[in-house]
A and B are shown apart, each in its own frame.
Chain A
Amino acid sequence: MLSNIKTISLNGIDGNLVEVQTDISGGLPNFEIVGLPDASVKESKERIRVSIKNSGIDLPSRRILINLAPANTKKEGTSYDLPIAIGILDALGEILYKNLENTIFIGELSLDGKINRINGILPMCIEAMNLGIKRVIIPKANEREAAVIEGLQIIGVNTLKEVIDYLNKKNDIKETHIDIIKIFNKKNKNDIDFSEVRGQENVKRALEISAAGGHNCILIGSPGSGKTMIARRIPTILPDLTFEEALEVTKIHSISGMLDSSIGIVAQRPFRSPHHTISTTSMIGGGKIPKPGEISLAHNGVLFLDELPEFNRNTLEVLRGPLEDRNVTISRLHSKVIYPSNFMLIASMNPCPCGYYGSLEKQCQCSKIAIQKYLNKISGPLLDRIDIHIEVKPVKYQKLNSNNKEETSKQIKERVNNARRIQYIRYKNTNIFSNSELTPKMIEQYCILDNECKKILELAFNKLGLSARAYTRILKVSRTIADLDNKRNIEKSHLAEAIQYRNLDKKYGDKF
C-alpha cells in the first residue's frame, strides 16, 4: 500500500516541503530510502525499525521503500525520522483516520520511541504556514518555539505511541499557545544596566551615538579599563526588537540549535563575543552542511570583537563584505545559502602591545615601530567601516566608590529611540534606515554644512592631519549627533564633537 506524508526540510534559513512516499509490497524483506538521503537520514532506518517495535507494533518482513520527494535535492539531518515512521505505519494501515493531507510531521526518534528535539523548527513552521498547512506535529521540546507562529495548530508530542494514539483519536493532545506579548515585556528586565558603569562619560556618550546612528565603534584602552564590561551593556540601549526582527533572529538561532526551548522566541538583541582564536568559517558561517556563523548569530544585535588585533587577519577581512551587504552568501558544492548579518560591530583593542600608550599613570614601554606594527594588524578597509573611535581609561577607585547617580540604560535608550525615529522618517523613501548606511551621494543631500562648519572642518583637516577617509565618517557621525539633539541642520557643536571621535587619526599616525 502507498502512503504520502509531508514534512519540511531546511535550506539556509528557509524551509522546503518534502513528501515522504512509502510503499510496502511483497518480495524479499528489505528497507530502503531513496531521494538523496545523506548518512544521518540513512541511519534513521534502524531508529525507526526499533522505535516502531518498541511502540508495540510488529514490523512485517516485507519490502519497504521510502522516497523523499523532490528526489533531486540532498536530504540531511534527523528530522525525517518521525514522518518516515508515520509513513510506514500509514502504509501498514495502522493509522485509521486518513486526514494527513494538511499535517506536517517533524521529529527525531530514539530507540525507545521517544521523540527528541531538532534544530530549525521555526523556519520550518513558517514555511508550513506559507504552504497553508493547518497542523504540525513536532517534538514537545520544540513546541514553544513553533507556537510563535499564529494560525497554526501546534501539537507537541513526547513519544511515537502518543502520535499513533492521537491520530487514531484514542487520546487528545491540546495545541500549544504562548503569550508573545508577555515574553516581549519580560525582556525589558535586563540583569545588566549602564548605570553600573561608573564615570566613563566619554565612552557612554560615544556608544549612545553609535547606537543612535548604527555606527560601528572601536574602543581603545589599556587592560582592565572596562572595555568588555561596557560593550556588554550596549544591547540594553539599542532600540527594542520588532516582532519581525525577533522572528528573524529566532530563525537563525533555531537552525543553530541555540534556542532556549522554554522561551520560544529571542526577544532581546543578541550579543555575540567570539574568542579571537575563532576560525574564518565559524565567523561568517559555512561548513560542508552550511551553518550560520557568529555574524549571523549577531544579526540585529551586537558583534563584539575583543582584542581586535589578536584575531586572525583573514577572519577579519571576511567581515568586510557582510558589513556592507548586511548579509552573507555561502556557496558550497551542493548548496548555496544566504544568511542575514545585519549587526553592529563593536571592537576593542589596546593602544599598543604593552597597553599603556597615552596613560597618565604608567609609562609606555613600546617603541614607535612596535606600536605601528601592532596597529598594522588591522587593515585600512576594515577600519574604514568603523565610524567612531573612543579611548577608554581605567576608573580610579574613588570614583568607583562614589555615590554619584549614573544614567540608566532606559534613559539613554529613550534618546536613542528618538534619534532613530527621526532617521526612520527622513529615510522613508530610501532603502536605508540609519545614518551609518549613508552613501556618499546621500551625504551630500542630508549632511549639509553651513559656512562656519565648513571652515571648522577645513581647519580640522589642516591642523589635525586627518586622513581623507575621515571626511565622510565625520559627516555621518555629526548627522547622528544632530539627530540626538533633535536639530534639523548640523551645527558647529555637532561637527566639533564628531571630529573628537576621529581624534585618533592624528594620535596614532595614518593608521586610523
Chain B
Amino acid sequence: MKINIEDAIYPKELRKIKNPPKSLYVKGNIKLLDTPCIAIIGTRECTQYGERMAKKFSRELSIQGITIISGMAKGIDSFAHIGSIETTGNTIAVLPSGLNNIYPEENIKLYKDIIKNNGLIVTEYEENEKENSKRFLERNRIVSGIAIGTLVIEGGYRSGTSVTARLTKQQDKKIFCVPSSLESKKGITPNKLIKEGAYLVTEIDDIIKEYKDLKLKRKQINNKVQKDIYKEQYTEKQIINETIKQEYKTIYNILQKEKAMNINEIVKKSKLDIKEVNYKLMMLELEDKIVSLPGSNFKIK
C-alpha cells in the first residue's frame, strides 16, 4: 500500500522533518503510524550485553504501550523487534529496500513474524528496489523521523548508529542512551552521546517520564507473558519453592537467583552423584524453574 505525504495517515512526526519522503510503501497494520513510537537503534555487531538490553527495553516499552520502531538490520535492530514481538507489542520495521527485496535476507523470518504479529513494514522505495549504502542512511532518517525519541543501545566509533543519533538531534527529538562499559568498543557511541547531553537510561521510567503529556495506554498483554516478565522482578523464591517436587528440592535450594552456579559446584554442594544432578537439573529446567546458561551454569529463573 502506498501513502502520500498529503494523506491523513502519513505520520505526523515524519512530516515535520527537513526532507520527508514524498510517499511511503507500507505492509501490515497501518494504524501503528498513529501511535507514539520510540526508535531503538544500535550496532549490527552487538555484544551479548547489547542483546539483553535491546530486548529488555523493547519489552518494557512495549508493555507501556509504546510502538518500537527500528531498521530490521542484524544485531540490536533485530533484538528490538523480537523483544516487542515477545510481549505481543507493536513494532514497525523500516527497510532500506523495496518490499519485494527484504533486506537482510537472514531476517525474512523476522519480517514474517512482524507481519504475523500485527506489526508494520515501511519503506520509501518502490517494490523491486534494492538496498545500497546510501539507502541505509536514508532509511535511518525515517526511523528517527517517525519516532518521538530514539534509544541508542550500542554503537562503535563513527557508525551508522552515530549518524542516526545525529539525525535525531537535527530533528529536535530526544536521545536516550543505555550506558556501556568504557572498555567495550561498541559502547563508544552511547557513552559519547551521554557526555554530549543525551538522557542516560538505567530504567524504563527514565524514558517514560519525558513523555508525561502522552496518554499512554498500557498494553493488554496475555497473562503468561506478563507473568514471565514480572516474575523476574517480583516473585519470591518461597512461592515457587512450594510447587517443586520433593526430589528436586535439594538441588533447587542450592541454586541462587542472582548468581549462576557451575554444575560441578552444585555436585560438590549437594553431595549427590553427577548423574543425578544432571537429571534433576534437566527436569527443573523443563519445569521452567531454573535456567541454564552457557558454560554449564545454572540459576533460578
Contacts and interface: CB of A to CB of B under 8 A. Distances in A.
The answer to whether A and B assemble together is yes
Interface stretch (B137-145, B214-222, B273-281): B273-281
A364 B46 CA distance: 12
Contacts, number: 99
B278 A367 contact: no
B240 interface: no
Interface in A478-500: 481, 485, 492-494, 496-497, 499-500
Contact of B274 (A204, A393, A459): A204
Contact of A507 (B279, B283, B292): B292
B130 interface: no
Interface stretch (B7-15, B33-41, B192-200, B259-267): B259-267
Given A357-B294, A493-B279, A201 B274 contact: yes
Nearest to B295: A358
A173 interface: no
A492 B280 CA distance: 10
Contact of B264 (A201, A481, A507): A201
B47 interface: yes
What's the interface size class on B, roughly? 20 to 34
Interface string B97-120: 000000000000000000000000
A374 to B, nearest CB: 13
A497 B294 contact: no
A367 B45 contact: yes
B162 to A, nearest CB: 18
A243 B121 CA distance: 70
B260 A360 contact: yes
B243 interface: no
B249 interface: no
A470 to B, nearest CB: 13
B223 interface: no
A202 B267 contact: yes
A367 B282 contact: no
B75 to A, nearest CB: 7
A288 interface: no
B295 A393 contact: yes
Given A351-B294, A367-B186, A500 B46 contact: no
B286 interface: yes
A508 interface: yes
A202 B283 contact: no
Contact of A500 (B44, B267, B282, B293): B282
Interface in B60-94: 74-75
Contacts of B283: 456, 492, 496
A496 to B, nearest CB: 4
A370 B276 CA distance: 35
B263 A202 contact: yes
Contacts of A286: none
A370 B297 contact: no
B296 interface: yes
B295 A201 contact: no
Interface string B166-187: 0000000000000000001010
| Residue from B46, B48, B74, B281 whose CB has the most chain A CB atoms within 10 Å | B48
Given A200-B264, A370-B45, A493-B279, A205 B296 contact: no
Interface of A: 199-202, 204-205, 351, 357-360, 364-370, 390-391, 393, 456, 459-460, 463-464, 481, 485, 492-494, 496-497, 499-500, 503, 506-508
